[in-house]
Amino acid sequence: MRNRTLLGCMVASLMLVLTAGGSVRAQPQAGSDQHHQSEHWPNKAIRLIVPYTPGGGTDILGRMVARRLTNALGVPVVVDNRPGSDGSIGTEILAKSSPDGYTLMIDGTSQAYNVAFGKKLPYDPARDLAPVVQTAIQQVLLLVNAKLPVTTVSELLRYARANPGKLSYGSSSNANALPMELFKIMTQTDIVHIPYRGSGPMLNDLLGGQVELAMSGAAAPLPHVRAGTLRVLGVGDDRRSTSLPDYPTIAEAGVPGFQTIQWSGIFAPANTPRPIIERLNREVVIILMDPVFQQQMVAAGFDVVSGVNTPESWRDLIAGEVTKWSRIVQLAGLNAH
């Protein structure tokens, strides 16, 4: 009885964290007289690092944005996949690159997850990265192999509780297991975690039945959902998705208070001249506001960013997510291993 009381208190605390959010206001980057470095920018190809394997949601969005930026800037924007270590290999490359606007990175949620886990990183995200612009919101889907005999969240919970430790879920990295670990805590279920190096390998095993379920960003699995080989039980946000309006939220489907999304955006190395940051922000915002591009994003499983989208608002969003997930990691007793 005592264990149930303690678990109930922990779940209640987690729900308070989810609803409270808790943002941390970061100071805007100071302006500088670096116009001489940026007045002829860009005059050669730009590298856009994707710190994951090809085929995942970040890679899909990165290539969509790179094609449009190539046209907008008049120079090639080339995607460079540098996967490994929960995205930190590609991020280290960015952090140690020259701050001249010719090396950028697209990433998002894992930046907050890695810090929340207290993972030892070869860089300091707050010191070594310059947020440029948020690019998208990606719904997190609770997915099962279509052969698993469940069609709703409630049915999954009954099945998992009747078969403790027999179900397994895949994640694209250790850090990206956080949403599913939160789900397990809030539902008091025992589901084994199998980490992968990217969404592509994880989805292959989910399709093949080596793992039975996953909680993944929508873009990569969406073709398999439409083909009927994967089944969506719910979306992670606390309101229905504009890109996937037919699926219930996980909260309304049986786990009240559950909420998680993925977000993504572009980073530059710290000390990149402010005029370059502002030019990149402006060009990407124009791309994101284009109705045709928005239709392409929705078709690919992304929700459109609305409202203010400045380097400072992007920095504040990241800081708020670090605070939220750090509290959840602490309450849940999780670690990077």
- Quote the mean pLDDT of the chain: 88
Which residues sit opposite 231 in a β-bridge?
A: 144
Which residues sit opposite 234 in a β-bridge?
A: 142
pLDDT in tens, 131-169: 999 999 988 999 999 999 999 999 999 999 999 999 999
How far, in Å, CA of 95 to CA of 138, rounded?
25
Ramachandran angles phi, psi of 51, nearest 5°: -85, 35
Residues of the chain with CATH 3.40.190.150: 43-136+263-332
Residues of the chain with CATH 3.40.190.10: 139-235
| Higher-scoring residue by pLDDT: 336, 56 | 56
Q: Give 245's DSSP letter.
A: T
Percent of the chain's residues with pLDDT above 90: 65
9-13, 74-78, 124-128, range with the lowest pLDDT: 9-13
| Higher-scoring residue by pLDDT: 16, 131 | 131
Percent of the chain's residues with pLDDT above 70: 88
pLDDT in tens, 202-258: 999 999 999 999 999 888 899 999 999 999 999 999 888 877 889 999 999 999 999
pLDDT in tens, 24-59: 334 444 444 556 667 889 999 999 999 988 988 899
Please say whether the beta carbons of 299 and 134 come within 8 A.
no
CATH class of 43-136+263-332: alpha beta
Cα–chain center distance at 220: 12
Ramachandran angles phi, psi of 305, nearest 5°: -75, 130
pLDDT band of residue 16 (cuts 50, 70, 90) is low
Which of the listed CATH numbers 3.40.50.200, 3.80.30.20, 3.90.105.10, 3.40.190.10 matches domain 139-235? 3.40.190.10
Cα–chain center distance at 179: 10
| Higher-scoring residue by pLDDT: 19, 172 | 172
